[in-house]
Amino acid sequence: MLTFRAGAASDCLQAARKRTAAGALVLAIAGSVSAAPIANAQPAPDGVHITADLKLSTQGVLEVVEKVVVPPDGEFKMSLPLRLKVGEDVERVFKVTDVDAKGTGTATVANDQLTIDAAPGESSFTYAIHNTVSDAPGTQVFRWLGVINADVASISAALISPSYEMGIVDCKLGPPGNLRQCSDLQIEADGVLFWEQSDLHKGDTIDLTLQLPPGTVPTNADVRDGGAAGPFAVTTPVLVAFGILLLALVGLVVFVLRARRENAAAGAGSNTIDPLRQEGDRVQFTSPDGILPGEAGLVLDEHADPADIAATVVDLAVRRYLWITPISDSDWRINRVNAPDDQLRDYEKVVYQTLLPEGADSVTVTELRAPGRVQSGPVRTALVAEGVARGAFAERSPLGLTTWLGGGLIVAGIATTIALAATSGHALVGVAILLAGVATFLLPRYLPARTASGRELAGQVRALQRGLDAIARDRIPPADQELVFSRALPFTIISGRADNWIRAFRDLNPAADSEPGLYWFGTFERDPNLQRFAGHFPFFITALEGLFGTSQSSR
């Protein structure tokens, strides 16, 4: 019995497992020199003689012509495995084509092996072995390691390569642990390697290493590492990509937390803005940056809620666009005074038209309570749009920059993952890109809606409210008290301070401006103060808030 092992494959696979470019030009064909297999022979006393001519083509295919002489009454059988396990979970795979046999022998390829049978006499075999070539740094290496499991009378082999510069590195022969240099191996000037050896004994090891110049033939070794993680292995490029992703995510988290902390701190502190402006002997109410009550309520809590809309309705009345008249303890009539004009903001026009559509001059709160009569959605949308236009809130368009950038990274990540999985591996690099896209896409959801300008404005509104809480009515001339009271009232509605504000002015004489009653709210014209108004007005605000729903619309 005769068996050869392809040691070159083992070296190549170990190098592949270390992820280097190293490899070996492997002659996995003991059939080339008695062909790497299992031979069951009962040779005559002069034994089996094997002659092999090998040629490494310019395409990297090893072409073998082998002659086997079997003595009378002898038998020769050889099996050359085409799938060699050269390490744990690692295989070297070869391919054999163009198989032909003449004489008394047969050659077949089946079940991942080449099988040669030779009866007594002379047989010749030809075949081509593929996937035998791989590279090492600066060279191409061929190492052949064979173990003989039967006595062989003689082996004679010749190897031709495309390069004349083939050189012997080492050749050893003998029992394991007691190898000696090969006795008859030489390279001719034309680059042909000749090797003859006789009287080989069962158990002898043949270790032959050759070198070829780099690039002599194409690399085509088929090395399969079943223990590798495949294209989704954690490699150096993957670690770099996820390291960059981690740094970017940490930066985003720090950015978001800082922005949210600054946003939460808007309006904190004890700053106070005095809303009263003295002009000669007259006093007027002013708001920071000319902000209106509805906008102030939005910028304070980042919600367009019913209180903001109710404050806007009262403000429209205070500014003489509407007239409000109680008709019972639970119903009020809203009348048109002046049509909407360019002095109104867009959201105020939407509020006005929601109450009094074109052609309507009067409406009761009871009529507004009819199902479907009041749609608060357009009002909230318009109010938020006003906040964005003012620069107090960031644009949250579905097709904004972060949406496009995040979506682009997600698509690029998917494409990169597929491409790398199908080619060079490192497919997790694409996953890192995809995750970066998801983070970018979701970023606006975690950022505060208010901009830096919005946070500053929110602080000013808070300071205004503190200023309103600190106002003493006697600071205001009697003739100006009604107007100051009325203009400031909507700003107290947005924060639930209207009761306190009205209580501070309950002794106000609405006739001090030479006109009886509040100029924008009817029925109490004969009252010398706001005592009855203070008990009635909160019900009107509650009714307005009920019209526009109890849910909140946020940025």
**DSSP per-residue string spanning 242-303:** HHHHHHHHHHHHHHHHHHHHHHHTTT-S------EEEETTEEEE--GGG--HHHHHHHHHSE
The pLDDT of residue 162 is 79
Same domain, 199 and 100: yes
Neighbours of 328 (CB within 10 A): 10
327 pLDDT exceeds 80?
A: yes
Asked if residue 187 is part of any domain, the answer here is: yes
pLDDT band of residue 245 (cuts 50, 70, 90) is very high
Asked if residue 333 is part of any domain, the answer here is: yes
Lowest-confidence pick of 34-38, 108-112, 189-193, 547-551: 34-38
pLDDT band of residue 14 (cuts 50, 70, 90) is very low
Q: How far apart are CA 62 and CA 46, in angstroms?
A: 30
Asked if residue 25 is part of any domain, the answer here is: yes
Q: How far apart are CA 361 and CA 90, in angstroms?
A: 89
Same domain, 289 and 372: yes
What lies within 8 Å, CB to CB, of 464 at 6+ separation is 273, 275, 287, 288, 296, 491
The pLDDT of residue 424 is 75
Same domain, 222 and 295: no
Tally of structural domains, the chain: 2
For residues 149-174, average pLDDT? 73
Q: Where among 209, 228, 247 does a domain terminate?
A: 228
Contact call for residues 23 and 131 (beta carbons, < 8 A): no
Asked if residue 263 is part of any domain, the answer here is: no
40 pLDDT exceeds 80?
A: no
Percent of the chain with pLDDT over 90: 44
The pLDDT of residue 227 is 58
The pLDDT of residue 481 is 93
Lowest-confidence pick of 79-83, 249-253, 359-363, 386-390: 79-83
Structure tokens at 3: 């068996």
Same domain, 295 and 183: no
Q: Where among 182, 205, 228 does a domain terminate?
A: 228
Query: What is the pTM for the complete model shown?
Result: 0.58
127 pLDDT exceeds 70?
A: yes
* Most confident of the ranges 79-88, 104-113, 408-417, 468-477: 408-417
Same domain, 222 and 297: no
Which of the two residues, 150 and 416, has the higher pLDDT score?
416
Asked if residue 87 is part of any domain, the answer here is: yes
pLDDT band of residue 1 (cuts 50, 70, 90) is very low
Q: How many CA atoms lie within 13 A of 501 on its CB side?
A: 23
21 pLDDT exceeds 80?
A: no
Please provide the average confidence, as pLDDT, over all residues in the chain. Answer: 82
Q: Tell me which residue of 231, 176, 228, 205 sits closest to 13, measured CA to CA.
A: 228
Counting Cβ atoms within 10 Å, is residue 212 exposed (0-12), middle (13-18) or buried (19+)? buried
339 pLDDT exceeds 60?
A: yes
Q: How far apart are CA 112 and CA 10, in angstroms?
A: 18
Q: How far apart are CA 256 and CA 422, in angstroms?
A: 37
Element (H, E) at 197: strand 193-200
Q: Tell me which residue of 32, 71, 38, 13 sits closest to 221, measured CA to CA.
A: 13
| Residue pointed to by tokens 């479907």 | 372
The pLDDT of residue 330 is 92
Q: Tell me which residue of 190, 199, 185 sits closest to 154, measured CA to CA.
A: 199
The pLDDT of residue 214 is 83
166 pLDDT exceeds 70?
A: no
493 pLDDT exceeds 60?
A: yes
Angle formed at CA 259 by CA 253 and CA 265, multiple of 5 degrees: 135
Lowest-confidence pick of 40-54, 82-96, 428-442, 498-512: 40-54
For residues 426-448, average pLDDT? 92
Q: How far apart are CA 293 and CA 313, in angstroms?
A: 10
Same domain, 348 and 496: yes
DSSP-assigned letters across all residues of 452-496: HHHHHHHHHHHHHHHHHHT--GGGS-HHHHHHHHHHHHHHHHTTT
Q: How far apart are CA 392 and CA 290, in angstroms?
A: 13
The pLDDT of residue 317 is 97
The pLDDT of residue 459 is 93
536 pLDDT exceeds 60?
A: yes
Same domain, 172 and 44: yes
367 pLDDT exceeds 90?
A: yes
Lowest-confidence pick of 37-46, 48-57, 83-92, 243-252: 37-46
Same domain, 178 and 327: no
Asked if residue 198 is part of any domain, the answer here is: yes
Same domain, 49 and 176: yes
Q: Where among 213, 228, 243 does a domain terminate?
A: 228
For residues 16-33, average pLDDT? 35
Structural domain boundaries, residue 348:
285-394+447-554
Task: Print burial letters for 527-554: b (CB count within 10 Å at least 16), e (below 16).
Answer: beebeebbebbeebbebbbebbbeeebe
Neighbours of 177 (CB within 10 A): 6
Same domain, 212 and 340: no
pLDDT band of residue 105 (cuts 50, 70, 90) is confident
348 pLDDT exceeds 80?
A: yes
Same domain, 180 and 291: no
Q: Are strands 185-187 and 193-200 parallel, antiparallel or unpaired?
A: antiparallel
The pLDDT of residue 192 is 81
What lies within 8 Å, CB to CB, of 11 at 6+ separation is 24, 141, 143
Lowest-confidence pick of 64-73, 305-314, 346-355: 64-73
Asked if residue 375 is part of any domain, the answer here is: yes
The pLDDT of residue 368 is 95
542 pLDDT exceeds 60?
A: yes
Alpha carbon distances (Å) from 544 to 78, 550, 552: 99, 11, 15
Asked if residue 410 is part of any domain, the answer here is: no
Which of the two residues, 504 and 267, has the higher pLDDT score?
504
Helices (H) then strands (E): counts for the chain: 14, 25
The pLDDT of residue 83 is 80
528 pLDDT exceeds 50?
A: yes
Element (H, E) at 536: helix 531-547
Alpha carbon distances (Å) from 385 to 288, 363, 381, 393, 402: 20, 27, 6, 9, 19
Counting Cβ atoms within 10 Å, is residue 339 exposed (0-12), middle (13-18) or buried (19+)? exposed
Q: How far apart are CA 106 and CA 57, in angstroms?
A: 25
Structure tokens at 19: 């992820």
Lowest-confidence pick of 114-123, 166-175, 323-332, 385-394: 166-175
Sign of CA dihedral 185, 96, 132, 59: positive
Same domain, 322 and 212: no
The pLDDT of residue 399 is 67
Neighbours of 250 (CB within 10 A): 10
DSSP 512: G
- Which residues are paired to 364 by β-bridges? 333
For residues 283-298, average pLDDT? 94
169 pLDDT exceeds 70?
A: no
| Residue pointed to by tokens 């072995």 | 129
- Which residues are paired to 124 by β-bridges? 67, 102
Q: Are strands 113-118 and 106-110 parallel, antiparallel or unpaired?
A: antiparallel
